[in-house]
Amino acid sequence: MTALGQFAYVNPLKNIKHWSPVKNYYVKCWGALDQDCFHCQNGIKKSTDYVYGIYVSKGNADIKYLSVNLTTHTHFQKSFSNIFDTDSNPCDKLFRFTYTQLTNMNGKKYNGYDIIPTAGEMYVKEIFRPSPLDAYQNIVRDFKWVVPEQLVLKLVKYDEKPMSLIDLFLLIKETYPSIKDKDAKKYSIRLLENGLIDIKKAKEYRH
């Protein structure tokens, strides 16, 4: 399945939910809204969808919402970062969306969306889009992930904890066995600061 679309913003909303075995479908995580959550209190695993706003037709500023998994989200963010590196705005581009299988860092395949920039004219001009100055929108333009975000999410619980280079290397390989040794070493060196894991170093700021 292939379609054209333009991103309204590049920093997605997060939809955090729990699987309810009683109702046999996903339900809202009230803990994400700073409220008491029965499912959190009972240790039921959370699932996160990433919700992007998309324009789907020329001149129509109504935003349609596309909910994607972590593998697709990671792929989107990598594409956006590459575009920002060329001093271009991904929201100014028209993309071709293809529903296909993407490979995550573990080498497993998941259904998701591939995106390829096209030479087509954007559907909605910048003046009609959400402000990039909004506290929540387009903040990704200020940095790029030097260590993949998907790996960082697994390592964040170790932030500021002491660890040797070899132990961090082994932890990364244990977390994602399909990572090449040279990349695992590079990420380990990047994330260590005076014998402590520093997750902030996973990002490289453009300004």
| pLDDT for the residue numbered 131 | 59
| pLDDT for the residue numbered 153 | 82
| pLDDT for the residue numbered 43 | 80
Q: What average pLDDT score do residues 39-65 get?
A: 87
d(CA 105, CA 175): 9
Q: Which structural domain range is residue 96 located in?
A: 2-141
Mean of the per-residue pLDDT values of the chain: 85
- Among 113, 141, 169, residue at a domain's last position: 141
For the whole model, what pTM was predicted?
0.65
Q: Which residues contact 174 (CB under 8 A, 6 or more apart)?
A: none
Query: What total number of domains does the chain contain?
Result: 2
Reported as a single tens digit per residue, the pLDDT across 87-134 is 888 999 999 999 999 988 778 888 999 999 999 999 988 767 765 545
Q: What percent of the chain shows pLDDT beyond 70?
A: 90
Same domain, 112 and 56: yes
Same domain, 14 and 41: yes
- Among 100, 116, 141, residue at a domain's last position: 141
Q: What average pLDDT score do residues 154-173 get?
A: 92
Whether 191 contacts 152, CB under 8 Å: no
